[in-house]
């Protein structure tokens, strides 16, 4: 259960970010944190217990951002989704409260040793290093990779 103080601290520590379709700026929520914390905590708890996210929080403004200096086709753009601050707060709370703990202490039946997404130590570099190590290990111990160096 998310408490009023949890919501207050989340609102009080907001970083400036783009507004979603609701046009509610972060400075407004930060300034009004004492007044908004209790009703928002109730709303978040109801939402979580009902497994329903308010429809308005699901909408986003999608802005194409160029990947290269002079884009000429659609694939030269990266879509950036700007959701409401409430949506971002809910997502942050869910990830920190449920996803990270589940990944740090998974049930014995699950193995996350080869997973790199959504982990504080996960990155593309870590995934590539692990892959390179696995391939090298198989090559050294099992001779599964053979070279075509025949004369």
Three state DSSP letters for 129-148? HHHHHHHHHHHHHHCCCCCC
86 pLDDT above the threshold of 90: no
Q: What is the mean pLDDT of the chain?
A: 83
Distance from C-alpha of 86 to C-alpha of 147, rounded to nearest angstrom: 56
pLDDT tens sequence across 99-145: 888 777 777 776 666 677 766 667 778 778 888 888 777 767 765 54
pTM of the model: 0.61
Q: What are the sequence ranges of the domains in the chain?
A: 4-105, 110-145
Helices (H), 4-107: 4-12, 26-31, 33-50, 85-94, 100-104
Lowest-pLDDT range, 33-37, 57-61, 136-140? 136-140
Q: Are 20 and 87 in contact, with CB atoms under 8 Å apart? A: yes
pLDDT confidence of residue 133: 83
């Amino acid at each position: 259960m998310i408490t009023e103080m949890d919501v207050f601290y989340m609102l009080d520590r907001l970083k400036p970010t783009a507004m979603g379709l609701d046009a509610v700026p972060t400075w407004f929520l930060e300034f009004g944190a004492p007044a908004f914390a209790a009703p928002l905590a109730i709303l978040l708890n109801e939402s979580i217990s009902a497994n329903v996210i308010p429809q308005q929080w699901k909408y986003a403004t999608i802005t194409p951002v160029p990947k290269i200096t002079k884009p000429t086709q659609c694939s030269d753009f990266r879509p950036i989704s700007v959701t409401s601050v409430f949506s971002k707060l809910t997502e942050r709370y869910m990830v920190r409260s449920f996803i990270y703990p589940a990944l740090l202490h998974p049930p014995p039946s699950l193995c996350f040793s080869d997973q790199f997404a959504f982990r504080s130590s996960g990155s593309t570099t870590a995934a590539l290093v692990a892959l390179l190590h696995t391939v090298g290990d198989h090559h050294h111990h099992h001779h599964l990779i053979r070279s075509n160096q025949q004369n």
